[in-house]
Amino acid sequence: MKKKLLSVLLCATMVAALFAGCGSKEEEAAAEPAAEEAEEPAKEAEEPAEETAEAATEGCPGVDGLNIGICIYKFDDNFMTLYRTELQKYLEAGGATVTVMDGKNDQAEQTNQIQNFITQGVDVLIINLVQSSAAEQVTDQCAAANIPVVFINREPEAAEEERWASEGIAATYVGADARQSGTYQGEIVLATENKGDFNGDGKVSYVMVMGDPENIDAQYRTEFSIKALTDAGVEVEKLDEQRGDWDQAKGQEIVANALTANGDAVEVVFCNNDAMALGALQAIEAAGRTVGEDIMLLGVDALVEALENVQSGKMTGTVFNDHIGQSHAAAEIAGKMAAGEAVDVQNMVDYIKVTNENAADILALLQ
């Protein structure tokens, strides 16, 4: 039942929840109580939940017979692997023919892949850019070929999105507002007894492990996690801030160095994603520190391993980056654009805060 309720809850928290997509019709029957029971979300949860209940379906609606090209910034990324697997599954279940390319973290390589898709004449492109700054060039290439494009995960500049609207270009972005995930990380710390001040010196001394700093998710999570603390009147001290490029090994190295340099002074480790938090946990344990007793550790994404750590207390918390909601929204919007429908230039899906109180529910949802 929990699983069913959560699935409804997830649908309910999608800002763009009109795009249906999680759960079966039977599951959706329990929609209303779910929104009320939900701890976390959900501004205006009830209404979208009902709408979602109507539209639920197994495969993606509106994509049958379409030829869809998908470009992922690199396959070797834990979160984007979950995302692309779900995206492909949902599109293919809806009857689309899907080709997925690995950009290998190289924008020039990805730009070639996009060019090839354009030459093949795909009906619509779904693109996770290597560099968000390539959006303008890529959009113009697609527009010249009359191929609509759905950008995912790495959001282009606001000015570029405004250009799509003002020039009537068939381009859109589907993602999540990373400010929310940063704020949730800070709120998880604030909800603890000592609010992150283990040594009682009146301030929270932290280490920040950033993703790729060109990525707006990394910028916002870094800023808003700390802003949540300072907005609540908590004094903070930044001991270290390094880019870990979303990578577990780099997270481990950065936190190991920070712990060597600052010792027990480190009270909270914020990681912009779970992969880096898993690396950070290795460093924390190797340094003889214990999460929950003398240090806190936070991530984002809700990878299964991270959820298990939250459940067992080895991580203080994470934030569910809803790859199911995001991939379904991207797929459905791609179908609409291929059919010539106008769509909003920005489509956001909500995050969900995860602590040991609801980690099991999110785990159940993902399994």
d(CA 155, CA 25): 32
Q: Which of 5, 61, 125, 154 binds ligand BGC (CB under 6 A)?
A: 154
DSSP secondary structure of 299-336: -SB--HHHHHHHHHTSSSBEEE--HHHHHHHHHHHHHH
Cα 124 to Cα 69: distance, rounded to the nearest angstrom: 7
Q: Is 86 in the site for ligand BGC (CB under 6 A)?
A: no
Give me the residue label for tokens 């924008």: 107
**Least Cβ distance, residue 215 to ligand BGC (angstroms):** 6
**Of 136, 229, 234, whose CA–CA distance to 184 is shortest?**
229
Question: What are phi and psi for residue 314, nearest 5 degrees?
Answer: -80, -15
Total interface residues for ligand BGC by CB under 6 A: 13
Which of residues 275 and 330 has its CB atom nearest to ligand BGC in the complex?
Answer: 275
Kindly write out the interface string for residues 103-142 of this chain, putting x where it contacts ligand BGC by CB under 6 A and - elsewhere.
----------------------------------------
- Pick between residue 172 and residue 181 the one whose CB is nearest to ligand BGC: 181
Residue 300 as a binder of ligand BGC (CB under 6 A): the answer is yes
Binding string, residues 260-279; x marks residues near ligand BGC by CB under 6 A: -------------x-x----
**Helix, strand or coil for residue 91?**
helix
Q: Which of 35, 70, 80, 345 binds ligand BGC (CB under 6 A)?
A: 80
Classified as helix, coil or strand, 94 is: coil
Between residues 77 and 160, which has the closer beta carbon with respect to ligand BGC? 77
Of 272, 273, 195, 275, residue with least CA distance to 236: 195
Asked whether position 246 contacts ligand BGC by CB under 6 A, the answer is: yes
Q: Is residue 217 at the binding interface for ligand BGC, with CB under 6 A as the rule? A: yes
**Which one, 205 or 321, has the nearer CB to ligand BGC?**
321
**Binding range to ligand BGC, per CB under 6 A, among 29-37, 74-82, 194-202, 344-352:** 74-82
* Between 82 and 169, CB nearer to ligand BGC: 82
Among residues 28, 77, 86, 160, the one that binds ligand BGC under rule CB under 6 A: 77
Is there binding between residue 153 and ligand BGC (CB under 6 A)?
yes
Q: Where are the alpha helices (DSSP H) in 168-321?
A: 178-190, 216-231, 248-262, 274-286, 304-312
269 membership: H or E segment, kind and range: strand 268-271
In whole angstroms, give the CA distance from residue 3 to residue 10: 10
Contacts to ligand BGC by CB under 6 A: 77, 79-80, 153-154, 215, 217, 246, 273, 275, 300-301, 321
